[in-house]
Structure 1
Amino acid sequence: MQNNKKSPKNNPNNFFNQNPLITFAIFSVVVILLFKALVGENSSMEGQTGSKRTQQVSYSEFKELVSNKTLNKVEIGQTFIRAKSTDGTLYTTRIVKGDTELVKELDKQGIDYSGFSETNWFTEMFGWLFPFLIIMALWMFFAGRMQKSMGNGILGMGGSKNMVNSEKPKTKFDDVAGVEEAKEEVQEIVDFLKHPGRYVEIGAKIPKGVLLVGSPGTGKTLLAKAVAGEADVPFFSVTGSSFIEMFVGVGAARVRDLFEQAKKDSPSIIFIDEIDAIGKSRAAGGMMGGNDEREQTLNQLLSEMDGFGTDTPVIILAATNRPETLDQALMRPGRFDRQVLVDKPDFEGRIKILKVHTKGVKMDDDVELEEVARLTAGLAGADLANVVNEAALLAGRKNQKTVKQQDLFESVERALAGLAKKSRRINPKEKKIVAYHESGHALLAETTKGAKQVSKVSIVPRGLAALGYTLNKPEEDKFMMQRHELWAEVDVLLGGRAAEQVFIGEISTGAGNDLERATDIIKSMVQTYGMTDVAGLMVMEKSRQSFLGPQGGSSREYSDKLAQDADEFIKASLDEHYKAVVARLEEYRGAIEDMVKLLYKKENITGEEVRNIILDFEKENGIESKVQEHINEIEDELKEDASMSEKESKVDEQ
């Protein structure tokens, strides 16, 4: 049987093979030291006499030999003395510095003496060469380190083998849930990679590049891996930032190398994550001076995408959450000519994602993933995976055998409101303020048409600064809001501040964020949505929109008079709604007091408990039930949504 084990001599990872100059320097030093130790001290007299008897004596013994005239020749060096006796024996001894009597004694006894140099031409030459050898060894060492960190070639510039992760992923489309439309869009990419001839024969041109667009955590990278896994082709993944180095031209060389590797292993997929790192628009003025390297890298990427034909079985996938910043040359047909939206999952999608992530987790029989999905509207796939993992950790901490429904609910709270700060003790006065504040939010949420229902009210501090919180989650996903729903949200936000005024008699700083959000909502209704009479249908401010929403900054394109009218409307609207909220709280004073008592007792109450308290109060006081009206409104919307889903299912079946 053939032995494939590499010997140390042939092993390319051996230190001495990788550093030949250092090896030579070490070898030279060892040889010189041995030469000096074995030969240097007695080479002169041994050459003269051929004797091999050498004795090392003390200085006092040496002086005694001189006095007895036993020696006939003495050689004095810088650090030691050597002498030859009349019988041919060699003696050596160390010099005692400051002794001037030795030479006088030698003259007295008539012994021949002379000086000698303890060095020779070889050691002197090495003394000159050794510093240069050390400098060259250090240079080779650091050059090798740079080559490892940067790739191959001169100083590693141009190599991409170390920065590219090449693999054949095992991920399949079944492992990707909640993005069904995106999977359908990339399905033909898989088919092309499996059967390229089918498309070439018919004359179809498969997209060269597919840009996956979506918020962070929605599964763009996972979907790209699934495409490669389904097609069973090599998957070259790299991040956009890894192309950029301090040396100009490195990024472009790495792009060339990456595409060469992909073509050699075709059919294959190149995946560039966070492509906005190199693909930002050149027209924005962001590529000047020190950023010239990014522009060269982008130009090389554009030319490489043009460099292979539509029949070349290499597909480029890229991911970004900021498509509005990309250069238009990247987005034109022939390059990234298809954009696939990988959006946050809807209700059904969240259920599928939760089922995927709970496959390897022992779940209790009472777990209803539908309830968890209903509470997690707006969360991405990565958030849902974290929710399941946090629930499993909570169950393990409690020494449970399975994950229960309550563990999942607690995990959802962590994701939405932050970690509970049970160790943070607030004084009774602040606790009272927080209880009334959160009860005010909850009451307005349950008695205002268009508001989001309450799922939980708590006076346990969570997150960085929240001393309490009210969780409001919609029963179904909403992609737009009507005007009455925006006004309802303003009322709910003002409910906390109003409750402090009505029940405490003094306001606090706790409502600062609520007032800011309420102001922003009304401002958007005036300036952006055209929902007021102040500016009518005119848009007062054009925000710099991105995929994730407004990114700040705006250009003012309206008169000072209109700005003053808008400010006056916002202030008047806040005052008007605040008065209405105060009146609502006065009307439901008893319900608020009952809510606060229960909060003091339990610290956490559910939305169902909040609704029961208000319903009981309305019944006792003969008030027309606003809570029941709100519940009926939500139920009607759910029925309508279910009816539409049923009709769509029938159409799909046909």
Structure 2
Amino acid sequence: MSAFDKVIGYETIKNELLQICDMVHNKECYEALGAKLPQGILLYGDPGLGKTLIAKCFIEESGLKSYVVRRNKGNDDFISNITETFQKAKENAAPCIVFLDDMDKFANEDSDHRDAEEYVAVQSGIDEVKNCDVFVLATANEMRKLPESLVRSGRFDRKIEVKCPTDKDANKIIEHYLSDKKVSEAVNMEDLSKMISYSSCAELETILNEAAISAAYKRKTDIEMEDLVKSVLRMIYDSPDNYTKTSSEDIKKTALHEAGHLVVSEVLCPGSVGLASLRSTGRDSTGGFIHRCKELSRRPYYVLVSLAGKAAVELYYCDTVASGCRSDINRACNYIRDGISENATLGFGMIDVSTRSFPETSENMNSRSEAVTHAELERYMRIAKDILLKNREFLERVTAALIEKETLLYSDIRALTEGTTITEVAV
């Protein structure tokens, strides 16, 4: 049995680390071919993804003694601790591992100021133990906070990104966290996995535990789907359990807005929406949201989905300019600007040629970019309305379902799509 069996999923990462452990255990096989142990491993990625667990499993699998360094002292004391740890590892315990956990928290630096004494101490320590059978392992959330000289090859030869679990891995993690809980047979596991896709391992564990707490408080014998949905809404979207309902007319407009996002997303990328709700996101805000469980394949699709909520409301309320769309419009503008200024979607004439040496974007360039962005917004808005008009029955069915149920799960959305003729629109 491998220590990595404690880690669910992440097979590619585990295989890479198992290779390093094999080098530790069977050094002569590698030395015969002139292969040397890599100079350190850095696991990086968002918080809550299991980097520290993976690192601990690596230490256990390697069978080597380890020295752990975490930020738990003041500046001078901590710097001394870093230096002393590397010295101990070199003198007393080689071969061994020095584990630098949350290395980006060793100093309060940003991407423009990365020369803190703590990182200088780490860098010196790594150089001091080179060729001394001391292996350096580190984790970090934000690579941008770390000096390039520290994370370069020769100090950390392997830099492994830890990402949110894939659908397959997420399902295994959900099953693992539910294994010690009593769950109703009526719970739809596909609905559950789709509504919490792209969540970290820590988030998944918390969501499922909160659902169990809610069910127990109501003295239920099983965790039901409503407990899980309620937990997702509260933990991921900060949607209060009790919120003030608006007028029926405002609810209809909100339902139309979210239905617009959902319909355009499903037309362009079937099966892409895992959850849709009229519940507010945030304690003080109004309006609903959709959660995509599948990434869209093209940048124009993101623009169209962003504008679809505004388009849907203005199609049905032609004398009204839809409100509450500021974030959607800003998002669409950013997608358009990125396309024209970075990827030359409208030719090289719109490429932003400013650099670090020449940082200023010309006034003429700004004016042209602004004009083109406005024109593209209008063009995409027309396309979004065309998609909605050609799929009017689908839009109206989704709107009615949202008004009736408030929250639609993946299975609800699939039932709506299967019962409606979807008309594709070329983009």
User: Could you say whether these structures have the same fold, taking a TM-score greater than 0.5 normalized by the shorter chain as the test?
Assistant: yes
d(CA) in 2 for partners of 1:193 and 1:366? 48
Does residue 492 of the first structure (1) align with residue 305 of the second (2)? yes
Q: 314, 321, 341: which one pairs with 1:501?
A: 314
Q: Secondary structure at the match of 2:38?
A: coil
Aligned residue in 2 for 1:345: 165
Equivalences for residues 82-481 of structure 1 within 5 A: 172-194=3-25, 204-239=35-70, 241-242=71-72, 244-245=74-75, 247=76, 250-263=77-90, 264-278=92-106, 284=112, 287=115, 294-295=116-117, 297-312=118-133, 314-365=134-185, 369=189, 371-405=191-225, 407-446=227-266, 448-450=267-269, 453-475=272-294, 478=295
CA contact (8 A) 2:279 2:289 kept: no
d(CA) in 2 for partners of 1:193 and 1:488? 48
Shift of the alpha carbon at 1:179? 1.6
Q: In structure 2, do the counterparts of structure 1 residues 611 and 574 end up closer, same or farther at CA, with 3 Å as the change threshold? A: farther
d(CA) in 2 for partners of 1:557 and 1:303? 38
Q: Secondary structure at the match of 1:315?
A: strand
Aligned residue in 2 for 1:19: none
Shift of the alpha carbon at 1:616? 6.0
Gap regions ≥5 residues in structure 2: none
Q: Deviations over 1:44-80 (max 9, x none)?
A: xxxxxxxxxxxxxxxxxxxxxxxxxxxxxxxxxxxxx
Shift of the alpha carbon at 1:573? 1.4
Aligned residue in 2 for 1:579: 382
d(CA) in 1 for partners of 2:154 and 2:398? 63
Q: Deviations over 1:589-613 (max 9, x none)?
A: 5655554444333323445555666
1:395 counterpart letter in structure 2: A
d(CA) in 1 for partners of 2:253 and 2:263? 15
d(CA) in 1 for partners of 2:40 and 2:108? 17
CA contact (8 A) 1:282 1:327 kept: no
Q: Deviations over 1:519-572 (max 9, x none)?
A: 111111111222223636x454679xxxxxxxxxx9745543333222111101
2:38 counterpart letter in structure 1: P
For structure 1, which segment, 457-466 or 218-227, has the greater mean C-alpha deviation from structure 2 after superposition? Answer: 457-466
Q: In structure 2, do the counterparts of structure 1 residues 417 and 278 end up closer, same or farther at CA, with 3 Å as the change threshold? A: closer
CA contact (8 A) 1:501 1:507 kept: yes
Shift of the alpha carbon at 1:236? 2.9
Q: In structure 2, do the counterparts of structure 1 residues 605 and 188 end up closer, same or farther at CA, with 3 Å as the change threshold? A: closer
d(CA) in 1 for partners of 2:270 and 2:299? 8
Q: Secondary structure at the match of 1:269?
A: strand
Shift of the alpha carbon at 1:182? 1.6
Q: In structure 2, do the counterparts of structure 1 residues 362 and 610 end up closer, same or farther at CA, with 3 Å as the change threshold? A: closer
1:503 counterpart letter in structure 2: Y
Q: TM-score, normalised by structure 2?
A: 0.82
1:513 counterpart letter in structure 2: S
CA contact (8 A) 1:206 1:310 kept: no
Q: In structure 2, do the counterparts of structure 1 residues 256 and 337 end up closer, same or farther at CA, with 3 Å as the change threshold? A: same
CA contact (8 A) 1:190 1:227 kept: yes
1:498 counterpart letter in structure 2: A
CA contact (8 A) 2:239 2:279 kept: no
d(CA) in 1 for partners of 2:396 and 2:93? 72
Does residue 520 of the first structure (1) align with residue 334 of the second (2)? yes
2:307 counterpart letter in structure 1: L
Shift of the alpha carbon at 1:306? 2.6
Q: Deviations over 1:180-232 (max 9, x none)?
A: 22212222443455566776787653234211122222211111111122234
1:561 counterpart letter in structure 2: N
Q: In structure 2, do the counterparts of structure 1 residues 252 and 495 end up closer, same or farther at CA, with 3 Å as the change threshold? A: closer
2:325 counterpart letter in structure 1: A
Shift of the alpha carbon at 1:432? 3.3
Aligned residue in 2 for 1:562: 365
CA contact (8 A) 2:114 2:147 kept: no
Does residue 511 of the first structure (1) align with residue 331 of the second (2)? no
Q: Secondary structure at the match of 1:417?
A: coil
Aligned residue in 2 for 1:602: 405
d(CA) in 1 for partners of 2:175 and 2:415? 33
Shift of the alpha carbon at 1:317? 0.9
Count of residue pairs brought into register by the alignment: 424
Q: Deviations over 1:144-198 (max 9, x none)?
A: xxxxxxxxxxxxxxxxxxxxxxxxxx99211112222221222244345556677
The higher-RCO structure (CA 8 Å, 6+ apart) is 2
Q: 535, 555, 576: which one pairs with 2:349?
A: 535
Q: In structure 2, do the counterparts of structure 1 residues 416 and 299 end up closer, same or farther at CA, with 3 Å as the change threshold? A: closer
CA contact (8 A) 2:394 2:420 kept: yes
Gap regions ≥5 residues in structure 1: 1-169, 288-293, 544-553, 619-624, 634-654
Q: In structure 2, do the counterparts of structure 1 residues 388 and 535 end up closer, same or farther at CA, with 3 Å as the change threshold? A: farther
CA contact (8 A) 1:185 1:340 kept: no
Aligned residue in 2 for 1:546: none
1:268 counterpart letter in structure 2: C
d(CA) in 2 for partners of 1:615 and 1:352? 28
Q: In structure 2, do the counterparts of structure 1 residues 317 and 578 end up closer, same or farther at CA, with 3 Å as the change threshold? A: same
CA contact (8 A) 1:454 1:470 kept: no
CA contact (8 A) 2:195 2:410 kept: no
2:168 counterpart letter in structure 1: E
Q: TM-score, normalised by structure 1?
A: 0.56
Q: In structure 2, do the counterparts of structure 1 residues 262 and 367 end up closer, same or farther at CA, with 3 Å as the change threshold? A: farther
Q: In structure 2, do the counterparts of structure 1 residues 283 and 443 end up closer, same or farther at CA, with 3 Å as the change threshold? A: closer
Give me the identity figure in percent.
25
d(CA) in 2 for partners of 1:283 and 1:613? 47
Quote the RMSD (CA, aligned, Å).
3.8
Q: In structure 2, do the counterparts of structure 1 residues 375 and 520 end up closer, same or farther at CA, with 3 Å as the change threshold? A: same
Q: Secondary structure at the match of 1:307?
A: helix
d(CA) in 2 for partners of 1:595 and 1:191? 55
